[in-house]
Amino acid sequence: MELKHLRSFLSVAEQLSFVRAAQRLHLSQPALSSQIQRLEEELGVTLLARNRRTVKLTDAGTVFLAEARETLARAEQAAERAQRAARGEIGRLSIGFVFSAGMGIVPNICMEYRRKHPDVILDLNSAGTHEQIGWLSDKSVDVGFLRRPITNDRLKLTTLQREPFVALLPKSHPLTKQRQVSVKKLRDERMVAYGRMWSPGCYDAVLEICAEEGFTPKFMHETDEIYVAVALVAAGAGIAVLPKSIALTQSKETVVRQLDREPLFSEIAIAIRREDDSPLLKSFVDLAVSYCHRHP
């Protein structure tokens, strides 16, 4: 059963005239009559009672008319949804993000995306960079907001945001009296770290900052959760050197200070699998990049 036969039947049933229906469909009257005849033969019933003067629906035709309308409406809806999916306007995306991105750019990007694409469902999952790389590899998520540097040939990365590292201190620490903290003065300090296993970029950046002053930091605590690192600093367990957006999530018991050096930057990047080229994914990445260019 072809959709064009249903459309032809629907036109005749609504017009109750083969002449007017043929004109409406831009068909010849014999071609239209042939389509209705093939439809009736396929169904094994008479849908239209016709003579030279009148056309009427049979009982079977009346029932079939309602079903034909519904079938055509569903077909049109299916075509529209397929076209919208091809344009990246409908579907579902699973998104991973590091904690600090969840406190900043991710909610704003998602809100703007939802305003433009209200029929796309966004599933949000917080995890460290290392875990997200695994999720992307096994296709548990479609896109990730990660901290660079990252070396993975299977991923396509686009930097969205750059921010300097700063010192996070307990409120009672003597260094809070200074407007800037000298990296040299961190030599003998107990330090809290966002562990290398979970964020190698942040961990190695702190090592680099300290190495430039000739010492290795004394990491007393390493954690996989940024808010735990902040809580440890607040409790007086040590100080931390963190990207600025993370440090600004501090409690009332902590203080942020700039470092007295040329800033070393941490980068948040959006990552997708290189082989992924769906319009839905492209529309999300393009919007994320555009948003971050407008809100550096």
User: What CATH number has the domain bearing residue 108?
Assistant: 3.40.190.10
User: Of 67, 86, 105, which closes a domain?
Assistant: 86
**Cα–Cα distance for residue pair 178/197, rounded to 1 Å:** 32
pLDDT in tens, 62-72: 999 999 999 98
**Cα–Cα distance for residue pair 272/252, rounded to 1 Å:** 37
- Do 203 and 185 fall into the same domain? yes
Q: How confident is the model at residue 77 (pLDDT cuts 50, 70, 90)?
A: confident
- Do 215 and 283 fall into the same domain? no
- Do 229 and 143 fall into the same domain? no
Residue pair 182/271 in contact by the 8 Å Cβ criterion = no
User: Of 40, 55, 86, which closes a domain?
Assistant: 86
- Do 167 and 256 fall into the same domain? yes
How much is the mean pLDDT over the chain?
89
**Cα–Cα distance for residue pair 94/78, rounded to 1 Å:** 24
- pLDDT the model gives residue 139: 93
- pLDDT the model gives residue 225: 78
pLDDT(91) > 80 = yes
User: Of 33, 66, 86, which closes a domain?
Assistant: 86
- Do 43 and 97 fall into the same domain? no
- pLDDT the model gives residue 288: 96
pLDDT in tens, 96-135: 998 878 877 999 999 999 999 998 999 999 988 888 999 9
Only one residue has tokens 């849908």, namely 47
- Do 120 and 70 fall into the same domain? no
Instruction: Give the structural domain span for 111.
Output: 91-159+267-294
- pLDDT the model gives residue 244: 84
**∠ CA 234-236-238 to the nearest 5 degrees?**
100
pLDDT in tens, 49-58: 988 788 999 9
**Cα–Cα distance for residue pair 230/85, rounded to 1 Å:** 42
Q: C-alpha dihedral over 138, 140, 144, 147, to 10 degrees?
A: -60
- Do 148 and 224 fall into the same domain? no
Domains: count for the chain: 3
Q: How confident is the model at residue 142 (pLDDT cuts 50, 70, 90)?
A: very high
- Do 207 and 82 fall into the same domain? no
Choice between 5 and 247, residue whose per-residue pLDDT is larger: 5
User: What CATH number has the domain bearing residue 34?
Assistant: 1.10.10.10
Q: How confident is the model at residue 249 (pLDDT cuts 50, 70, 90)?
A: low
- Do 58 and 183 fall into the same domain? no
- pLDDT the model gives residue 172: 92
Residue pair 211/129 in contact by the 8 Å Cβ criterion = no
- Do 45 and 102 fall into the same domain? no
Dihedral sign for Cα 166, 171, 175, 178, please.
positive
- Do 146 and 274 fall into the same domain? yes
HEC-encoded secondary structure of the chain: CCHHHHHHHHHHHHHCCHHHHHHHHCCCHHHHHHHHHHHHHHHCCCCEEECCCCEEECHHHHHHHHHHHHHHHHHHHHHHHHHHHHCCCCEEEEEEECHHHHCCHHHHHHHHHHHHCCCEEEEEEECCHHHHHHHHHCCCCCEEEEEECCCCCCEEEEEEEEEEEEEEEECCCHHHHCCEECHHHHCCCEEEEECCCCCHHHHHHHHHHHHCCCCCCEEEEEECCHHHHHHHHHCCCCEEEEEHHHHCCCCCCEEEEEECCCCCEEEEEEEEECCCCCHHHHHHHHHHHHHHHHCC
pLDDT(178) > 80 = yes
User: pTM for this structure?
Assistant: 0.67
- Do 273 and 217 fall into the same domain? no
- pLDDT the model gives residue 193: 92
